[in-house]
Amino acid sequence: MKHASSSLPTPTSTESFWHTEPNEFLLGHRTTEELPEHADIVIIGSGITGANTARYLTEDGRADGLKIVMLEAREACWGATGRNGGHCQPLLFDRGADVADFELKNVAAVQSYIETHSVPCEWRSVSGCRSFWTEETMKAAEKEVARLHSVAPEIGKLVAVIKDKDELKKHRVDPAALGITLSQNAASLWPYKLVTFILEKLVKEGKLNLQTKTPVTEITSQGEKHAVHTSRGTIVSPTVILATNGYTSALLPQFADLIVPVRGQMSALFPPERSTILPDSHGMVGAPGMPGWNDDYLIQRPYSGVPNPAGHLMFGGGRGDGDHPTVGVSDDSVLDEKIAAYLRRALLTLLELDGSTEGLKELKAAKEWTGIMGYSRDDHPWVGPVPGKKGLWLCGGYTGHGMPNGTLCGKAIAKLVLGHLEGQQLDRIQTEMVEKAELPASYLITDERIVKARSFPIVERQNDPVIV
């Protein structure tokens, strides 16, 4: 199967609820009226990864005096981070103990920044409740949790398997579910507000030149420098960092089969009248009527203490019930009405919502929208230098799981870039980072990893087993 490259971000998009309270300072922002002709470091993308890459670069004294320019195709944080489910939940038993440890550190780092700077982004610490609706997925979860308890007992203490029906009800899960896993150290937040806080702070401190509405169309090499071509001109730099996630292959066609765009769908739903806030964030694996790989996700906004405190149920997923393809799709201007209908109905059967639910067939939507994720061929992010492209760096491919990864992946790429510019051996920096648990070895970009990843089923096959 031939892998087509992603398109660039579409000029128009569906309207995300997270953008209903925009950062006025950043709307249409261009720190300088003209696009600079040169920069020491160019960052492409202004989501959770790009913002934290810029932040960690500027917090490191080795970057003092460096001219850092960030390019964004649309408004700031208008891609996946401004369209996701609002989770910051580590998946503790899915991808190995080292990844679980990294994601726990990532959540702690996000929380620390928010608390230190009093970021008004609706951060709420919750337990992560994942319900399983098929025998196969339930058994797989139990097996992986048992393995985690064996290989990493301290992390294992943070996860429990619950199958008692009365206990399920305490977590508002319909007892038709076969069971749940309950993970600690999870959170919910308004991701756009966090990222735009970081960006506004960096711009106002004079540490970052942000250029919105400046799509990058191509990157070409000129000796040891890269020409970054945009709709407004070309900027030349020896160091270019792609924080482009699902759109990566539009600029790096060689990654078309390694980071594949996947369109996800979200909704902001009004809860039933007189209902109370859910104690957990939720994931629903293989919900009734859905294929086993389908993964729905839910957080709830507060009822008080924030602007527009309506307790919206921020519910996404439903990819197994759509009329339109999702894998290999990089257009977020389209809404799948069949998925939208599923999302409006499903919570009334998957959960035991309280309040006035009698006779209620579906919930009313405040907003419905789509966003583009970047699914990795081997289920791990890609962090490091692009092979054969000196001075070109990549950080992305989160497989729909960027919030518990993007912050410290941004820190890692900043450390790699600055160490390289300082003349350090790249493999030595990478080895030290892995030894210090600053980045899982499975995230590093190497030629060997690329070859191995290409031995795995294609992303399309992994997400739809009928594809051959």
- 362-420 tens-digit pLDDT: 999 999 999 999 999 999 999 999 999 999 999 999 999 999 999 999 999 999 999 99
Query: Which pairing describes strands 239-242 and 313-316: parallel, antiparallel, or unpaired?
Result: unpaired
Residues 341 and 270 placed together within one structural domain of the fold: yes
346 — pLDDT class (breaks 50, 70, 90): very high
Domain end (from 361, 376, 391) = 376
Residues 249 and 397 placed together within one structural domain of the fold: yes
Q: Which residue has the tokens 């009365």?
A: 166
Residues 162 and 306 placed together within one structural domain of the fold: yes
In a domain, 92, yes or no: no
**Cβ atoms of 163 and 189 closer than 8 Å:** no
Please report, for residues 113, 145, 176, 178, 286, the alpha-carbon distance to residue 164 in angstroms, rounded to integers and kept in the order given. Answer: 38, 17, 11, 9, 19
Residues 210 and 301 placed together within one structural domain of the fold: no
Q: Which residue has the tokens 């409006």?
A: 344
CA 326 to CA 463: how far, in whole Å?
10
75 — pLDDT class (breaks 50, 70, 90): very high
CATH of the domain at 202: 3.50.50.60
Q: How confident is the model at residue 383, as a pLDDT?
A: 98
Query: Which pairing describes strands 365-376 and 280-285: parallel, antiparallel, or unpaired?
Result: unpaired
Domain boundaries, position 269? 124-187+261-376
Mean pLDDT of the chain: 96
209 — pLDDT class (breaks 50, 70, 90): very high
Query: Which pairing describes strands 124-132 and 280-285: parallel, antiparallel, or unpaired?
Result: parallel
Q: How confident is the model at residue 460, as a pLDDT?
A: 76
3-state secondary structure 439-459: CCHHHECCHHHHHHHCCCCCH
Q: How confident is the model at residue 464, as a pLDDT?
A: 59
- CA 431 to chain centroid, in Å, comes to 26
In a domain, 91, yes or no: no
Which residues on adjacent β-strands are paired with residue 249?
Answer: none
**Cβ atoms of 436 and 98 closer than 8 Å:** no
In a domain, 28, yes or no: yes
Helix-, strand-, coil-residue percentages of the chain, each rounded to 5: 30, 25, 45
Residues 277 and 390 placed together within one structural domain of the fold: no
Q: How confident is the model at residue 463, as a pLDDT?
A: 65
Domain end (from 327, 356, 376) = 376
Cβ atoms within 10 Å of 227's Cβ, excluding its own: 14
Task: Name the residue among 197, 48, 189, 58 with its Cα closest to residue 118.
Answer: 197
List pLDDT tens digits, range 235-276.
Answer: 999 999 999 999 999 999 999 999 999 999 999 999 999 999
- CA 207 to chain centroid, in Å, comes to 25
* Helical H segments across 210-336, by residue range: none
Q: Which residues contact 243 (CB under 8 A, 6 or more apart)?
A: 43, 44, 45, 46, 47, 49, 50, 53, 395, 396, 410
465 has pLDDT over 60: no
Residues 177 and 274 placed together within one structural domain of the fold: yes
Residues 196 and 58 placed together within one structural domain of the fold: yes
Which DSSP string do the residues of 147-171 spell out, in sequence order?
A: HHHHH-HHHHTTEEEE--HHHHHHT
In a domain, 215, yes or no: yes
CA 242 to CA 239: how far, in whole Å?
10
Residues 268 and 168 placed together within one structural domain of the fold: yes
Q: How confident is the model at residue 293, as a pLDDT?
A: 87
List pLDDT tens digits, range 21-70.
Answer: 999 999 999 999 999 999 999 999 999 999 999 999 999 999 999 999 99
Query: Which pairing describes strands 179-188 and 124-132: parallel, antiparallel, or unpaired?
Result: antiparallel
* Range of weakest confidence among 149-153, 181-185, 318-322: 318-322
In a domain, 417, yes or no: yes
What is the total residue count of the chain? 468
- How many separate domains does the chain show? 2
Burial class of residue 89 (count of CB atoms within 10 Å of its CB; 0-12, 13-18, 19+): buried
- CA 193 to chain centroid, in Å, comes to 15
SS3 45: coil
CA 106 to CA 101: how far, in whole Å?
9
Q: How confident is the model at residue 321, as a pLDDT?
A: 83
Domain end (from 341, 357, 376) = 376
CA 159 to CA 300: how far, in whole Å?
21
CA 13 to CA 191: how far, in whole Å?
18
Residues 271 and 209 placed together within one structural domain of the fold: no
Q: Which residues contact 169 (CB under 8 A, 6 or more apart)?
A: 175, 352
SS3 307: coil
Count Cβ neighbours within 10 Å for each residue of 428-447 and write b for 16 or more, e otherwise: ebbeebbeeebbbbbbbbee
Spatial strand order of the sheet with 225-230 comes to 216-222, 225-230, 233-237
Residues 76 and 196 placed together within one structural domain of the fold: yes
In a domain, 273, yes or no: yes
In a domain, 222, yes or no: yes
**Cβ atoms of 382 and 259 closer than 8 Å:** yes
Q: Which helix (H) or strand (E) holds 366?
A: strand 365-376
Residues 323 and 200 placed together within one structural domain of the fold: no
Residues 286 and 159 placed together within one structural domain of the fold: yes
Task: Name the residue among 169, 4, 190 with its Cα closest to residue 88.
Answer: 190
In a domain, 96, yes or no: no
Backbone φ and ψ for 43, nearest 5 degrees, come out as -110, 125
Task: Name the residue among 65, 68, 40, 38 with its Cα closest to residue 53.
Answer: 68
